[in-house]
Amino acid sequence: MTVRSEQVRIPTGRLSLAQVLQTLATDGHLPLRFTAYDGSSAGPDDTPLGLELLTPRGTTYLVTAPGDLGMARAYIAGDLRLHGVHPGDPYLLLKALADEVHFRRPSPRALAAIVRSIGIEHLVPIPPPPQEALPRWRRIAEGLRHSKSRDAGAIHHHYDVSNDFYEWVLGPSMTYTCAVYPHPDATLEQAQENKYRLIFDKLRLQPGDRLLDVGCGWGGMVRYAARHGVHAIGATLSAEQARWAQCAIAEAGLSELAEVRHCDYRDVVESGFDAVSSIGMTEHIGVAHYPAYFGFLKSRLRPGGLLLNHCITRADNRSGAAAGDFIDRYVFPDGELAGSGRITSEIQDAGLEVLHCENLRNHYELTLRDWCANLVAHWDAAIREVGLATAKVWGLYMAGSRLGFEHNAIQLHHVLAANGGGAGLPLRPWWQP
């Protein structure tokens, strides 16, 4: 949704909630149906997509936090209902809002009419839903950002939801990072297996080699490497992930080759690894900590060893690093993103030679599509496990992220780098896409 500054004719008298929305919308155009608890409505009657404002509390959420955060609060709290989409995958409604709804900045006269119609009592902020994390300024005031304890708290907020819930959403691979689809009709599981194959091949791993996987999640890369004869250590700050991964390793008979530790990556003391993989970890590090992070990864590599960094990136190198309010409060507290140029520069400045960089943005669209489909298929079980509000957060977050990748607001990059001693590497990329 975009905001434009325009003059508009304001109806006289008190405005209904639907009239307030039409007053703010460019040319009064709404591509979906809006209804409100005051009995008013706007938008076409024949569209299946719609928003229904159910309570005065929802109005307060919308007014006191305009934009995505206010809508998220009202929706998660049950004050705003979506029509025409499943709560596990509201992609089509979010797409209509993003592509077709444009708001103008009201004139002082229009703003006065809106405030008078809504009521000044709705301008007073109220407590957000309990699923919301503290605002960024409060977190900064209460703890050193990206300290070990604070990073552990942020990871716990997002990853220690429920392993059962994650299995329903992610599928059997338990892989919570972008898949790489070998062809458009590939299944999610085929695409995740192909992603691990691609990273394994880029790292030129061979039986008997040693791999460190930082931020290893449920150990998917660790298990893949071990199945191919590589000694692999994974580190995760999530206790739930570590327990699940340790059981999966034992059940697969990989304990002699694979290990997942519940620890901060900075507590891994071994070095001399043939390869290091960082898959979906950089987003949690914080841009200011990139030099220390990539310096640490370099210190774990043997001379000539390879690093593969897989992370979500900005579409440019000028945008701020902080995530939007909804993502920061409900999904990834303290998460930050940078452009691929910044990632590449930091890896180079750490003393590593960048060999290859590629954007896999379109693959994340497909991954999120398939995760949403899994959530829809297991919706009732998900609600029983984590509650309706948390399940709605996940549907909203994944569908919104899919839209972000589709619109090229965010990307996904692989950066492959060597710790010097590159003699012996093929002259051209040695892996298949």
Q: Report how far apart, in Å, the C-alpha atoms of 57 and of each of 23, 126, 130, 148 are.
A: 21, 8, 15, 38
Taking a C-beta distance cutoff of 8 angstroms, is the pair 147, 167 a contact?
A: no
β-partners of residue 262 are 236
Residue type, 261: R
376 vs 364: CA distance, rounded Å = 18
pLDDT value of residue 39: 97
135 vs 151: CA distance, rounded Å = 15
Residue spans of the domains in the chain: they are: 2-123, 148-418
pLDDT value of residue 158: 46
pLDDT value of residue 135: 82
pLDDT value of residue 304: 96
pLDDT value of residue 31: 87
330 vs 327: CA distance, rounded Å = 5
> In terms of DSSP bridges, do strands 102-105 and 80-83 run parallel, antiparallel, or are they unpaired?
unpaired
Both tokens of 328, joined, read: 């920061």
Distance of CA 171 to the CA centre of its chain: 17
pLDDT value of residue 3: 43
pLDDT value of residue 140: 60
β-partners of residue 109 are none
Smallest Cα–Cα separation from 182: which of 166, 164, 196, 202? Answer: 196
Residue 125 burial class via C-beta count within 10 angstroms: exposed 0-12, middle 13-18, buried 19 and up: exposed
Smallest Cα–Cα separation from 30: which of 42, 46, 47? Answer: 42
Taking a C-beta distance cutoff of 8 angstroms, is the pair 311, 280 a contact?
A: yes
Both tokens of 15, joined, read: 């405005």
pLDDT value of residue 154: 47
Task: Find out if CATH 3.90.180.10 is the number for domain 148-418.
Answer: no
212 vs 276: CA distance, rounded Å = 5
Helix axes 388-406, 68-76, angle to 10 degrees: 150
Instruction: Quickly list DSSP for 134-175.
Output: PPHHHHHHHS-TT-HHHHHHHHHHHH-S-HHHHHHHH-TT--
pLDDT value of residue 155: 45
β-partners of residue 25 are 103
* Entry pTM: 0.91
**pLDDT in single tens digits along all 433 residues of the chain:** 444 444 445 455 689 999 999 888 877 678 899 999 999 999 999 999 999 999 999 999 999 998 899 999 999 999 999 999 999 999 999 999 999 888 778 888 888 999 999 999 999 999 999 999 888 765 565 555 545 554 444 444 444 578 999 999 999 999 999 999 999 999 999 999 999 999 999 999 999 999 999 999 999 999 999 999 999 999 999 999 999 999 999 999 999 999 999 999 999 999 999 999 999 999 999 999 999 999 999 999 999 999 999 999 999 999 999 888 899 999 988 899 999 999 999 999 999 999 999 999 999 999 999 999 999 999 999 999 999 999 999 999 999 999 999 999 999 999 999 999 766 899 999 999 9
